[in-house]
Amino acid sequence: MEDVLAPDGRGLKHVAVREYVRSLVTGSAPGSPAPSERELVHQFGVARMTVRQAMDALVVEGLLERIPGRGTFVARPRRAASRITGYTEEMSRRGLLAESQTLLARREQAGPGVARALSLTEGDAVIHWRRLRRADGTPMCLEDAYLNEVLLPGFLQSGMPTSLYDALDGRGLRPTWAEDSITADRATPEEATLLEVDEGASVLRHSRRALAGDKVVEVSRTVYRADRFTLWVQLGHDV
């Protein structure tokens, strides 16, 4: 039989099968059976290899699980390391209202440390954004973020967003990789005043270098009130 291709003219029958199966099984309980390969062959009038290509994708995705001799079934959802989140999303996840007060937002020349972290040259233009961040009205942390101005043209002029990560997302720069370091320390006098704690109170210092693909999009240093904040991290993944 010649290759007439699908009615839509694009040779993507396996996509049609894949999305059909996906629509069938999303929402099904793990262990529910998916249609058998030969059943789909008859339904779609395609070759079995085409159906297998469709199912393979769903298996790789972790949606389906094949059991030889028995059939194909909805898989137990895989665990995966949590996506990289910023303060706003993290507080929202905890059921707290995130508010931020910008203390400083300006163009600066990168110092040696920031330049290295942002993969820039010393003296390059960076955006320095300092915020006092609250949760349900109480100071939670003080954050100094440094951004590569080249990646964010007009960022300072366009009015600062509430969520940096949402703003990055909108520019296709959502971080997919982050290198964090965390240590315990005591609040400096300035930090204590802003965070409304006693001088020398316990704080958690959190540094992040966040990348979107190859591009370093954010370097930040945040100091959290230890009496109000515990950092949660999930590590690893299934299979």
Partner DNA sequence: TAGTGGTCTAGACCACTAT
Partner DNA sequence: TAGTGGTCTAGACCACTAG
Q: Which residues bind DNA (CB under 7 A)?
A: 1-3, 5-6, 11-15, 34, 36-39, 45-50, 52-53, 66-72
Q: Please report, for residues 21, 89, 103, 207, the alpha-carbon distance to residue 138 in angstroms, rounded to integers and kept in the order given.
A: 48, 17, 16, 22
To the nearest whole angstrom, how small is the minimum distance from the Cβ of residue 80 to its own copies? Answer: 8
User: Which one of 177, 190, 198, 199 is in contact with its own copies (CB under 8 A)?
Assistant: 177
Q: By CB under 8 A, name the one of 92, 119, 163, 202 that touches its own copies.
A: 202
Q: How many whole angstroms separate alpha carbon 148 and alpha carbon 139?
A: 27
Residue 189: left (phi > 0), alpha (psi -120 to 50), or beta? alpha
By CB under 8 A, the count of residues binding its own copies is: 37
Q: Which two tokens stand for residue 102?
A: 């910008």
Q: Does 230 interact with its own copies (rule: CB under 8 A)? A: yes
238 contributes a contact to its own copies by CB under 8 A: yes
| Token pair for 166 | 């949402």
What does 165 interact with, of DNA, its own copies, none (CB < 5 to 8 A by kind)?
none
CB-nearer residue toward DNA: 53 or 163: 53
Out of its own copies, DNA, none, what residue 37 binds, judged by CB under 5 to 8 A for its kind, is DNA
CB of 62 to DNA, least distance (A): 15
Q: How far is the CB of 13 from DNA (least distance, A)?
A: 3
- In the complex, least distance from residue 200 CB atom to DNA, rounded to whole angstroms: 60
Q: How far apart are CA 88 and CA 94, in angstroms?
A: 10
Which is nearest to 34 in space by CA: 77, 65, 13, 12? Answer: 65
Tell me which DSSP letter residue 106 carries: E
Q: Which two tokens stand for residue 203?
A: 């704080």
Residue 207 CB contacts under 8 Å (≥ 6 apart), including other chains: 180, 181, 182, 219, 220, 221, 222
Of DNA, its own copies, none, which one sits near residue 161, judging by CB under 5 to 8 A according to partner kind?
none
Phi, psi of 53 (to 5 degrees): -60, -40
Q: If contact means CB under 5 to 8 A according to the sort of partner, which of DNA, its own copies, none does residue 27 touch?
A: none
Q: Which residues bind its own copies (CB under 8 A)?
A: 49, 56, 60, 79-84, 175-186, 202-204, 213, 224, 226, 229-238
